[in-house]
Amino acid sequence: MSTIAEQEVTPKLTAKDFASNQEVKWCPGCGDYSILKQVQTVFPDFGVPKENIVFISGIGCAARFTYYMDTYGMHSIHGRAAAIASGVKSMNPDLSVWVVSGDGDALSIGGNHFIHLMRKNFDLNYMVFNNQIYGLTKGQYSPTSEKGKVAKSTPFGSIEEPFNPSEIALGAKSTFVSRSLDRDPKHMQMVLKRANEHKGTSFVEIYQNCPVFNDGTFFAFSEKETKKEQAIFVEHGKPLIFGNGEEKGIRFDGLTPVIVDIKESGISLNDLWIHDEKDKTKANILSRFFDTTFNGESFPRPFGVFYTEDRSCYEQSMKEQIEAVTARKGKPSLDKILSGDKTWTIL
Amino acid sequence: METLETNFKPLVPIIEADSIVIRFSGDSGDGMQLTGNQFTDTAAYLGNDLSTFPEFPAEIRAPIGTTAGVSGFQVHFGSREIFTPGDEYDVLVAMNSAALKVDLPRLKKGGIIILNTAGFDKKNLSLAGYPEGVNPLENGSLDEYTVHKIDVTRFTKECLAGTGLGMKEIERSKNMFVLGLLFWMFDEPMDYTITFINEKFSKKPDIADANIKTLKAGWNFGDHTEIFTTRFKVSAAKLPKGVYRNISGNQATAIGLVAAGELSGMPLFLGSYPITPASDVLHELSKYKSSNIRTFQAEDEIAAVCAAIGASYAGGLGITTTSGPGMSLKTEAIGLATILEIPLIIVNIQRGGPSTGLPTKTEQSDLMQAMYGRHGEGPLPVIAASSPADCFNTVLEAARIAVEHMTPVICLTDGYIANGTEPWRFPAAADLAPIKATFVTEPNGENGAFYPYKRDERGVRPMVKPGTKGLMHRIGGLEKQNETGNVSYDAVNHEKMTHLRAEKIEKIADTIPLIKPDSGNETGKLVVLGWGSTSGAIKTAVRELLAEGYDVAHVHLHHINPFPKNLGELLNGYDKVLIPEMNCGQLIQLIKAKYLIPAIGLSKMQGLPFTTVELKNKILEILK
């Protein structure tokens, strides 16, 4: 640990300090560039020394992220980053651990690890770059691709329902569920900061454009012409409002969300759905603004922090249990362990 | 009960025996494992050498009374050195018809059968699959044995009548009657078991009393009835002086891992997923949390090994324990650890395969998987344990190699030695060699550069803990440029790195002791080359043949990759090489390929260890 005096003279790091000496090799126009830039931009504000940061990734375009950060890092195998990160965090809870994954890596081959990581709630950050396509293997449909997706392995369209990642995360007892997108740098920076602050597994889904195999999939949520009608940016304590003229609000009719014209209905803003990150029931409904309609009505896609919960972290509980058992039983000597309880002597 | 209260005491002669094998056999719920363990502990305290072999069904509670539900416990104890649980038994305890049916074939001709007649009624005979009207107790099929028919169930009920215990609890005590009787038969005291019962049921004194009462009733039954004409005495063995404990292979594995943590100064992390017969290591190690040990029951086999890899990466000693099917699942991750070059201990407690195979039976059929079961060229050190206590040495050796040579290490044990027990003259902590864990904190290149894959003279790369200032670097599963560790697709570099990784493993041979025969001379007519759990059977067979004047030797391998440097030379000193394995011949392929020796194989794939007789017969056939 450095002393306070030393910390004072250490100049604040810049985004550049977090760039490794490796050439970044994503396709031109890939959304991953923006994510890398936002991460490198916000990291200096976190105040964590570079040597205490570890990036763990699996396989896929997103997974190459690890090589581009001048921190510690492991580019591992397909789907297993969550499991590896669990071991890292168990062994050294002081490290700031960031998992970088994609929709195939996190939700297909790594789906089992994903749900168990959420449940166990290690204090780490789990980013899923969701581009709804397999990029590195050159264009097959992914578990988040829309039904009917025409891709290399589905020339006649996929016949599967897609996963809704935030719904899975909530179902798997995630303590931090959020969504952002590559083409909204400010929003992404805000979400990353919130993820970093959260104690527990912070799940950050980032809609990311793949210009080669799935170009424009999320443009409806990021481009001027459609963004305000099709996306809704939620903030804790604020009413759910969207639309070109911010004229639409969402209110509850019982447990059913309803879109209302604020002026026409004359509803008070206080009577709209006020976003509450701590309310799991509301978070569940919000996460289902995906492909679900309520009473035949479609809802805008939400972005922001949907849900947060304070819950003990796995590595902390593990440490506390070890300390408690040690305090109660004492640390036995190796000789005592070798001999066990019952011995006999041959003279 | 009249017989128990009479004061008439027949004088039954006690015969000295140098070793005895007893098989306790009954239904899964009959308490045969506990009975066997209690008998074993008492024999151990009396100074006998011994070896045990618990054998239980894969089903937790198979239908009562069927052959599928038979649970057996075999103990071989002696006044001489004992290396196996015994080919055949002298005494068979059969609590029901199914037990007799399953275990009679391996009872010595003329052996003693103690059977519970209550388990031979019409219903039990039918459940065991005897044809209607056939009762082995009445059809003369047991004429060549000494049979003691005792209604253990009735005697137990009578003994505990009036205690206020329910029928179920009373029935459960019947194993104690048998145990008491056997203690009498072998002139062993009941004290150890009485202490055990009092401790086990300290909160249920009425149950403790009932068990002790039944135990004593069993002893008195032997002492007061005239049906037993002989008792046996097995004197203490002349074992090396010292303090002993009884230990199973899985316990020894767990304790060895605890020791590895202490000796390396590295905190341990065990990532594991329950699987037979490996789960006991997870259970056992979980008890030692106060020794800075983290145990992690992962969501699956893959997560278990991956979490262990993460823990090693973060500066701990990562371990994963499993059995064959789990090994298959872990394979990709082991490949990652191989190319990362980080310490990792993988313990495979082998069982019958492929697939679910024979989960509770033993086999040595994962050797080739350990050697070659990876995609790409990825040689790894492979070591094998030869006995329950040797599991301790094996995992310690694995830790030494893993930490000092920056590599995953595969340890092979199997169901036979994992569950079997033997007396262990355990070492003093002070006598165990330290494991040198060296974490680098300074750059190893010019101008403060750090090269994570710059090797020392042994080909070993530096170990760095994340959190170390100034040494940030990235590692991964992609091929890396020599020294810098940066991603490299360069063809020539890949070939070079492949060789560098293999050479590092080969160089471990410099740190392995030269191999010597376990028994017999360094040259001669025939050597039996073994590995793993066949050690006891080979040792017994070879020593017996040596005593009979045959020119045989036994060489036992602990290091299978790399082999000890002098193995080829040693084997060339014998006219014939016999390699017995509980597989279809795996080590023999490695030996033939490496040393071009016309070795002879002996396979056994019955879920059971070799018997001494099987080995002796094969050796004699070759020597003819």
Collapse the DSSP code of A283 into the 3-class scheme (helix H, G, I; strand E, B; otherwise coil) and give the result: helix
Instruction: Using CB atoms, pick whichever of B290, B468, B476 lies closest to residue A75.
Output: B476
Q: Which residue has the higher pLDDT, A296 or B23?
A: B23
Check CB contact under 8 Å for A91 and B467: no
State how far the Cα of B85 lies from the Cα of B235, in Å rounded to an integer: 18
Tell me whether the omega of the peptide bond preceding residue B562 falls within 30 degrees of 0, making it cis.
Answer: yes
The three-state secondary structure class of B219 is helix
Per the listing, tokens 């201990």 go with B345
Instruction: Give the number of other CB atoms < 10 A from CB of residue B551.
Output: 16
Instruction: Tell me whether A19 touches chain B (CB under 8 Å).
Output: no
Cβ of A116 within 8 Å of Cβ of B299? The answer is yes
Written as one letter, the residue type at A323 is E
Selected residues 57-116 of chain A with any CB under 8 Å from a CB in chain B? 59, 66-67, 69-77, 80, 82-92, 94-95, 112-113, 116
ipTM score of complex: 0.96
Which pLDDT value is given to residue B430?
A: 97
CA distance B237 to chain A (A): 9
Pick the closest to residue B83 from B538, B416, B519 (CA basis). Answer: B538
Instruction: Write the pLDDT tens digit of every residue in A87-113.
Output: 999 999 999 999 999 999 999 999 999
Fold of B2-233: Pyruvate-ferredoxin Oxidoreductase; domain 3 (3.40.920)
B239 and A67: CB-CB below 8 Å? no
pLDDT tens readout for residues B288-302: 999 999 999 999 999
Q: Do B259 and A73 touch (CB under 8 A)?
A: no
Whether residues A86 and B296 touch (CB distance < 8 A) is answered with yes
Inter-residue contact B387 to B250 (CB < 8 Å) = no
Q: How far apart are CA B393 and CA B389, in angstroms?
A: 8
Domain A1-222+312-347 has CATH 3.90.550.10: no
Largest CA distance in chain B: 95
CB spacing of B259 vs A76 below 8 angstroms: no
Domain boundaries, chain A: 1-222+312-347, 225-310
Asked if the Cβ–Cβ distance from A52 to B241 is below 8 Å, we say no
Distance CA B580, CA B604 (A): 8
* Pick from B242, B245, B308: CB nearest A87: B308
Q: Pick from A191, A172, A173: which is nearest to A181 by CA?
A: A191
- Whole-number percent of chain A with pLDDT over 70: 97
Q: Is A1 on the interface with B (CB under 8 A)?
A: no
Residue A5, chain B, CB below 8 Å: the answer is no
What is the CA angle A209-A125-A75, rounded to 5?
A: 70
pLDDT means over runs of 10, chain B (624 residues): 46 88 94 95 93 87 90 96 95 97 96 96 96 93 95 95 90 95 95 95 94 96 86 92 95 98 98 97 96 97 98 98 98 98 98 95 97 97 98 98 98 96 97 97 95 98 97 97 97 98 98 98 98 97 97 98 98 98 98 98 96 96 95
Contacts of B245 (CB under 8 A, 6+ apart): A339, A340, A342, A343, A344, B423, B424, B426
Distance from CA of B391 to the nearest CA of A (A): 13
Min CA distance, A310 vs chain B (Å)? 23
d(CA B121, CA B42): 33
Residue of A nearest to B266 (CA): A91
Place of tokens 């135990």: B215
- The per-residue b/e assignment along B427-446, b for 16 or more CB within 10 angstroms, e otherwise, is bebeebeebebeeeeeebee
- In the stretch 506-545 of chain B, residues with CB closer than 8 A to chain A read none
B467·A95 Cβ contact <8 A: yes
d(CA B225, CA B6): 9
Could you tell me the pTM of the whole model? 0.94
Q: Do B466 and A54 touch (CB under 8 A)?
A: yes
Confidence at A9, pLDDT banded by 50, 70, 90: low
What are the sequence ranges of the domains in chain B? 2-233, 248-429, 446-511, 524-623
Q: What is the mean pLDDT of residues A71-80?
A: 98
Do the chains contact at B477 and A112, CB–CB below 8 Å?
A: no
The pLDDT of residue A8 is 53
* Residue A13 dihedral angles phi and psi, to the nearest 5°: -70, 160
Query: Exposed, middle or buried: residue B181 (CB in 10 Å: 0-12, 13-18, 19+)?
Result: buried
Q: Does A23 touch chain B (CB under 8 A)?
A: no
Q: What is the rounded CA–CA span in Å between residue B526 and residue B523?
A: 8
Domains B248-429 and B524-623 in one fold: yes
The reported pLDDT for the residue numbered B82 is 96
- In Å, how far from its chain's centre is CA A98? 10
As beta bridge partners, residue B579 has B601
pLDDT of res. B5: 44
B302, A80 contact by CB (below 8 A): yes
| Predicted confidence band of residue A10 (pLDDT cuts 50, 70, 90) | low
Tokens for B595, please give them.
């040393």
Smallest CA–CA distance from A95 into chain B, residue: B467
**CATH number, domain B248-429:** 3.40.50.970
Q: Which of residues 402-421 of B touch A (CB under 8 A)?
A: none
**B245, B262, B299, best to mutate vs chain A, most A CBs in 10 Å:** B299
Q: Which residues in A153-184 are b (16+ Cβ under 10 Å) and which e?
A: eeeeebeeebbbbbbbbbebbbbbbbbbbbbb
Buried b (16+ CB within 10 A) or exposed e, A223-251: eeeebbebbbbbeeeebbbbeeeeebbbb
Q: Which residue of chain B has the CA closest to A330?
A: B290
> How would CATH label the architecture of B524-623?
3-Layer(aba) Sandwich (3.40)
CB atoms within 10 A of CB B562: 18
Nearest by CB to residue B243, choosing from A56, A318, A345, is A345
- Specify the DSSP class assigned to residue B131: P
pLDDT band per the 50, 70, 90 thresholds, residue A271: very high
When CB atoms are compared, the residue of A52, A332, A345 closest to B467 is A52
Instruction: Give the per-residue pLDDT at B6.
Output: 44
Q: Is B208 left (phi over 0), alpha (psi -120 to 50) or beta?
A: alpha
Spell out a b/e string for B595-619, using b for 16 or more CB atoms within 10 Å of the CB, else e: bebebbbbbbeebbbbbbebbbebb
Which strands sit side by side in the sheet containing B408-414, from one edge to the other?
A: B293-297, B268-272, B317-322, B344-350, B408-414, B382-384, B559-561
What is the per-residue burial (b if ≥16 Cβ within 10 Å, else e) of B230-244? Answer: eebebeebebeeeeb
Set of chain B residues whose Cβ sits within 8 Å of the Cβ of A318: 294
Q: How far is A6 from chain B (nearest CA, A)?
A: 14
Q: What is the DSSP letter of A12?
A: P
Q: What is the pLDDT of residue B300?
A: 98
